A and B are shown apart, each in its own frame.
Chain A
């Protein structure tokens, strides 16, 4: 294998060359994001800019292979963005989420970023380049078509529950399959989305199903979604949040459609820390000579991983950050406060803290800090940095500088 790589790579630069122009410092972005040895901040003061920064971090866009397949363009409505990120981002679509303006238009900055990204188009969906969410009057979709000449598919509803059903049918047609694992979050609970943030990250990474419930009842659309599952137990349903978020009554009712599990902690910080370590695997279905297991959750319980640190107060900024779990170092979303790293998160990071090893076997953790210092402070970033610092690191050589 190595020989093949060497042969091809020897030809590559010889044919294509890697000569690119050098730039003067003045041509570079003026302000750099704040990075520490184990954390990188991706700062932005508003959701629209945040989404752009995230897309720029993930997609160099110098060639087709480091550009996205499509772009999700979504209103600044948390429930819509959350639903879209749950179902669209993953392969084969490979799409970052960008926001419309609060008025539902698309800004020049976002248009410029969409132009920079040059999405390839999703082969499995007629080479669609932009998925527009909402936009009932189709003005934004038309603007994108007109300005960028991109192929657009519009999911025109502004109802997130209807959207979840629509996307379930769309995704099934694209993949010729309904994933049996379904994340379920609470639509009417004020912290329903925050509890589901980590599981949404898993979906953006693995492309599983998603549906909404109310704290005390189940919408008809969700019943239809769950009815479409044909696993050994029907669906495998993962409720995000405890009984105060999704009631026991709903959990019991959902068990008519399959196996119900909870990813829950006493608060949103704990729920997402639990999600980072959560793993459910076991039987799904088999056909004598073949079998397919159910497999849900990051299950990270040891060192050597990446984490996406987002603010519990900034849902619109946190939702598109699931993109960082879809590409690059991957990893789950953890929520923190502005100035503090809550104990469930710090305890978890302490548990998975790396340690010093040999130069050929180093092990490392890394974290993305999503948002500027008005969302997550420098102090909180330093705390996270320290929680990620390998145990046993002798900094004497550094201090001697």
Chain B
């Protein structure tokens, strides 16, 4: 009879845990792929998001668009200067508009040198001009290869360090040399207009006071920016007053309405974090001027500047806690791959179900999982009468191996159940009966936790523990084995749950601003960490199970 049963049991022991593992792997991979997809896509709903909008303002971006004259008028109205003199008309040279906007502050601490020749000179000049208008710094215009005598004389007269906000193509080293012959001079330039604007927004020379100094580390400033495209430089000129009234620096989008990577990255780094509530400040704000920047780009900028809690920086952004958890998960994945390769090559005689359990344990228990794996398989039993290979292990490692048998299946099951709950939505009941403590019976979170616990037992028991033990103990009666494996699985999963649920609750209550969605890295990171703690709690609790012979620790 045994001869007939063994092959079938061997098949079950080998394939059911494997199928279970593959299903878990696929679901968790789907979840992690969703996380990546959600974070990398820029504006998947761009086709419908603008439908029916009545105004273009958003919570972190104010938009001025229309004709240049309209925008100029709107800006003047915005800073409440209806009665002030009109700026130069279209025929006024832009150099004169810039110098006319500056009220030089005394004493002069630095001079801003801007390019004046070439088709792109205006666009290159504007970021520096915004700073000069805000700070009251004198501006001197230079030709591509030289400065005229008057310009050099003014620089000499100011006697302050000069900052050349132009690339070599617009203001050559020869011209820079002329300035250096008069005063200390430094070129502050990057290779593209967008990069140049970001560079000036971040740059700060503390000695001369030149530059906005708005780096990622300037956490508490209420920074504002004017954003336009190089081809709409006239709009940036019209928005000059905002550099004074709102201390706004200038940033560039691309002429096709998209956001260059350098601007996009800078804005994300400008997302403010809060420690207590988002009401605490600071906030950041953009003034989008012109017609070329697309709605999708504006919405992305608006989203980029949305305040987020310190640990995660909010949705889409990447916060410090997410960074730590990603490192933790990466170690786990590397550990799992290592055990997969090593066990396949070095331990092919160990039952497949056990190897799968070690692989998933090493994945969820980074580094420690590998150490335990090596400790467990270091010394094979030389003369074992058992139908399967056994290994000599100290009691603590036997406990670890016994824990792995349950944890390796139960923990992934719990993660998958939690993922599916969040994916499809938690159930919720709140009838008239929901008074006193009874309301918890209708609450989604406790229901999910209960199902995670029960599901781990009810799935891991018949699909992993029972077939695996059947293969390891073919002589044992099926009914007895069913009962035994149920007790083993229930005790083991309760121990794992104790650590997992407590950690997940602690993360939720004290470390995460709110319950993460199933497409957020925080969900997987928190579950990963909770699994690790679950293993640490379950390990010592498995010791008495091994000592009493209820669980096997030598496989």
Partners in one complex: yes
Residues of A within 8 A of B (CB): 1-2, 4-6, 8-25, 28-29, 31-38, 40, 42-44, 49, 52-53, 56-58, 60-67, 91-92, 109, 112-113, 115-116, 118, 121-128, 166, 169-170, 172-176, 178, 205-206, 224, 228, 298, 300, 304-306, 324-325, 327-331, 358-364, 366, 382, 385-386, 389, 393-401
A170 touches B42 (CB 8 A): no
A304 touches B78 (CB 8 A): no
A65 touches B269 (CB 8 A): no
Q: Is the CB of B43 closer than 8 A to any CB of chain A?
A: yes
B4-12, B17-25, B253-261, B363-371: which lies at the interface = B253-261
Partner of B48, one of A58, A118, A166: A118
B87 touches A401 (CB 8 A): yes
| Contacting residues, chain B, for A20 (C-beta < 8 A) | 42-43, 46, 257-258, 294-297
Partner of B78, one of A35, A331, A358, A386: A35
| Contacting residues, chain B, for A400 (C-beta < 8 A) | 100-103
Known: A11-B40, A18-B42, A60-B49. A35 touches B299 (CB 8 A): no
Known: A20-B46, A66-B299, A112-B52. A124 touches B244 (CB 8 A): no
Partner of A176, one of B241, B315, B440: B440
**Sampled A-B contacts (12; CB under 8 Å):** A20-B43, A21-B257, A23-B257, A32-B56, A42-B55, A112-B51, A123-B425, A172-B434, A173-B434, A176-B445, A205-B279, A398-B244
- Give chain B nearest CB distance to A142 CB in angstroms: 21
One digit per residue, 1 when the CB lies within 8 angstroms of any chain A CB and 0 when it does not, for chain B 182-218 equals: 0000000000000000000000100000011110111
| Contacting residues, chain B, for A19 (C-beta < 8 A) | 256, 258
Given contacts A63-B44, A300-B279, A399-B81, 13 further A-B pairs with CB under 8 A are A13-B259, A18-B261, A29-B53, A35-B74, A37-B245, A56-B55, A60-B49, A61-B49, A116-B48, A126-B427, A362-B223, A364-B285, A401-B84
Task: Give the CA-CA distance A364 to B426 in the complex, in Å.
Answer: 41
Q: Is the CB of B473 closer than 8 A to any CB of chain A?
A: no
Q: Is the CB of B268 closer than 8 A to any CB of chain A?
A: yes
B60-68, B166-174, B392-400: which lies at the interface = B60-68
Q: Is the CB of B282 closer than 8 A to any CB of chain A?
A: yes
A360 touches B204 (CB 8 A): yes
The 4 A-B pairs at the shortest CB distance, nearest first, are namely A328-B59, A60-B299, A22-B257, A127-B425
Task: Give the CA-CA distance A142 to B516 in the complex, in Å.
Answer: 31
Q: Is the CB of B375 closer than 8 A to any CB of chain A?
A: no
| Contacting residues, chain B, for A118 (C-beta < 8 A) | 45, 48
A124 touches B55 (CB 8 A): no
Task: Give the CA-CA distance A169 to B439 in the complex, in Å.
Answer: 8
A32 touches B424 (CB 8 A): no
| Contacting residues, chain B, for A13 (C-beta < 8 A) | 42, 259, 261, 264-265
One digit per residue, 1 when the CB lies within 8 angstroms of any chain A CB and 0 when it does not, for chain B 313-325 equals: 1011111101100
Q: How many A-B residue pairs have CB under 8 A?
A: 373
Interface positions, chain B 237-276, Cβ under 8 Å from A, are 240-242, 244-247, 255-261, 264-265, 268-269
Q: Is the CB of B94 closer than 8 A to any CB of chain A?
A: no
B101 touches A397 (CB 8 A): yes
Q: Is the CB of B57 closer than 8 A to any CB of chain A?
A: yes
One digit per residue, 1 when the CB lies within 8 angstroms of any chain A CB and 0 when it does not, for chain B 277-292 equals: 1110111010000011
Task: Give the CA-CA distance A123 to B49 in the complex, in Å.
Answer: 22
Specify the chain A residue showing the minimal Cβ separation from B76. Answer: A401
Specify the chain B residue showing the minimal Cβ separation from A121. Answer: B425
Task: Give the CA-CA distance A58 to B49 in the complex, in Å.
Answer: 12
Interface positions, chain B 109-165, Cβ under 8 Å from A, are 133-136
Partner of B269, one of A2, A174, A362, A363: A2
Task: Give the CA-CA distance A364 to B247 in the complex, in Å.
Answer: 10
| Contacting residues, chain A, for B300 (C-beta < 8 A) | 18, 60, 62
B62 touches A65 (CB 8 A): no
Give the one of B76, B224, B302 with max A CB within 10 A: B302
A124 touches B515 (CB 8 A): yes
- Give chain B nearest CB distance to A187 CB in angstroms: 22
A206 touches B277 (CB 8 A): yes
B55 touches A16 (CB 8 A): no
Give the one of A60, A173, A400 with max B CB within 10 A: A60
Specify the chain B residue showing the minimal Cβ separation from A123. Answer: B422
Q: Is the CB of B383 closer than 8 A to any CB of chain A?
A: no
Known: A21-B257, A62-B299. A115 touches B42 (CB 8 A): no
B317 touches A52 (CB 8 A): no
Q: Is the CB of B346 closer than 8 A to any CB of chain A?
A: no
Partner of A12, one of B220, B222, B264: B264
- Give chain A nearest CB distance to B129 CB in angstroms: 11
| Contacting residues, chain B, for A382 (C-beta < 8 A) | 80
* SS of B interface (majority): loop
Task: Give the CA-CA distance A101 to B282 in the complex, in Å.
Answer: 38
- Give chain B nearest CB distance to A93 CB in angstroms: 11
| Contacting residues, chain A, for B240 (C-beta < 8 A) | 401
Task: Give the CA-CA distance A96 to B240 in the complex, in Å.
Answer: 35
Q: Is the CB of B489 closer than 8 A to any CB of chain A?
A: no
| Contacting residues, chain B, for A5 (C-beta < 8 A) | 216, 268-269, 313, 317-318
| Contacting residues, chain A, for B258 (C-beta < 8 A) | 17-20
A32 touches B63 (CB 8 A): yes
Task: Give the CA-CA distance A38 to B79 in the complex, in Å.
Answer: 8
- Give chain B nearest CB distance to A51 CB in angstroms: 11
Task: Give the CA-CA distance A399 to B79 in the complex, in Å.
Answer: 10
- Give chain B nearest CB distance to A206 CB in angstroms: 7
| Contacting residues, chain B, for A364 (C-beta < 8 A) | 222, 224, 246, 282-283, 285
B303 touches A63 (CB 8 A): yes
Q: Is the CB of B511 closer than 8 A to any CB of chain A?
A: no
Known: A1-B323, A382-B80. A366 touches B430 (CB 8 A): no
| Contacting residues, chain B, for A38 (C-beta < 8 A) | 246
B518 touches A123 (CB 8 A): yes
Give the one of B40, B213, B326 with max A CB within 10 A: B40
A16 touches B40 (CB 8 A): yes
Partner of B428, one of A11, A35, A125: A125
Q: Is the CB of B306 closer than 8 A to any CB of chain A?
A: yes
A35 touches B57 (CB 8 A): yes
Q: Is the CB of B41 closer than 8 A to any CB of chain A?
A: yes
B103 touches A397 (CB 8 A): yes
| Contacting residues, chain A, for B136 (C-beta < 8 A) | 394, 397
- Give chain B nearest CB distance to A385 CB in angstroms: 6
| Contacting residues, chain A, for B41 (C-beta < 8 A) | 16, 63
A174 touches B428 (CB 8 A): yes
Specify the chain A residue showing the minimal Cβ separation from B321. Answer: A1
Partner of B43, one of A63, A173, A358, A398: A63
B221 touches A361 (CB 8 A): yes
Q: Is the CB of B39 closer than 8 A to any CB of chain A?
A: yes
Partner of B54, one of A29, A92, A170, A298: A29
Task: Give the CA-CA distance A401 to B78 in the complex, in Å.
Answer: 14
Partner of B81, one of A44, A124, A401: A401
Known: A1-B323, A397-B133. A62 touches B56 (CB 8 A): no
Specify the chain A residue showing the minimal Cβ separation from B421. Answer: A123
A32 touches B74 (CB 8 A): yes
Partner of A21, one of B222, B294, B429, B439: B294
- Give chain A nearest CB distance to B534 CB in angstroms: 20
| Contacting residues, chain A, for B133 (C-beta < 8 A) | 397
| Contacting residues, chain B, for A37 (C-beta < 8 A) | 78-80, 241-242, 245-246
Task: Give the CA-CA distance A291 to B544 in the complex, in Å.
Answer: 35
Specify the chain A residue showing the minimal Cβ separation from B310. Answer: A1
Specify the chain B residue showing the minimal Cβ separation from A3. Answer: B323
Partner of B247, one of A24, A122, A362: A362
Specify the chain A residue showing the minimal Cβ separation from B294. Answer: A20
A42 touches B40 (CB 8 A): no
Task: Give the CA-CA distance A224 to B433 in the complex, in Å.
Answer: 12
Known: A32-B63, A109-B52, A361-B221. A61 touches B244 (CB 8 A): no
B78 touches A36 (CB 8 A): yes
Task: Give the CA-CA distance A248 to B283 in the complex, in Å.
Answer: 40
Q: Is the CB of B58 closer than 8 A to any CB of chain A?
A: yes
